[in-house]
Amino acid sequence: MANSITCINSLLVGLKTTNSGLLLKLQQRGFDTSLNVGPEQEYTVKTLIHTIDNLCIQFLTITAKRTQFVQRTSFNERKEIESCLNYLHNCLEQTQQELDAFNAENHQCNKELALSYTNDCGQNIGLRLLDAMHCIDLLKPYSRMLEMVTAQERIHALSAVLETLLSKEASAKADYDDVELTHEQSGALQLSQYLIRQAL
């Protein structure tokens, strides 16, 4: 149990670290980070890198609650998350290596195809980062599922606070019954009671 979470957290930290300077390095080598990528052109290079960073933050937040993370996922799901993160980390590391070896004198960035360049032999080469989208798509459902769990916890906490406010407001309303309220004050009081009930 703890082993899978430790591996996941280690990969997330590695991913975040490797991803942190990638956008700047791409721009320095002459790659156009505003070009679209993805099966449906759903990302620009820049938003792809930001998406990876956001996924890391989401998963780090979720895995910080170890017990809940283990309860909400099966061992096989955690292993699949670990496998996707490992593949994604390899994509980023290889992309960093490709960029380190990139020679502006012998290679020409493709101005129409994102994350691609022409080498000195005239071959079009795509950076390994292009493979990252497949793993991102596999990780997104887990991220959404676990975010919903976190959201439900917040709703329960908020609900408890609102119930307390409603009970206090009911006792305060009894005090207001002795005092004459203006039409506006009465309307505001009714509106606040309605909104609190709707939030529950």
User: How does the average pLDDT of the chain come out, rounded?
Assistant: 84
* Structural domain spans, the chain: 2-155, 157-199
Tell me the pLDDT tens digit for each residue of 83-104: 999 999 999 999 999 999 998 8
Name the band, by pLDDT with cuts 50, 70 and 90, for residue 173: low
- Helices 75-101 and 45-63 sit at what angle, rounded to 10 degrees? 140
A 10 A CB-CB count for 59 gives 23
Q: What is the pLDDT of residues 53-71, one digit of tens each?
A: 999 988 888 888 888 888 8
Identity (one letter) of the amino acid at 1?
A: M
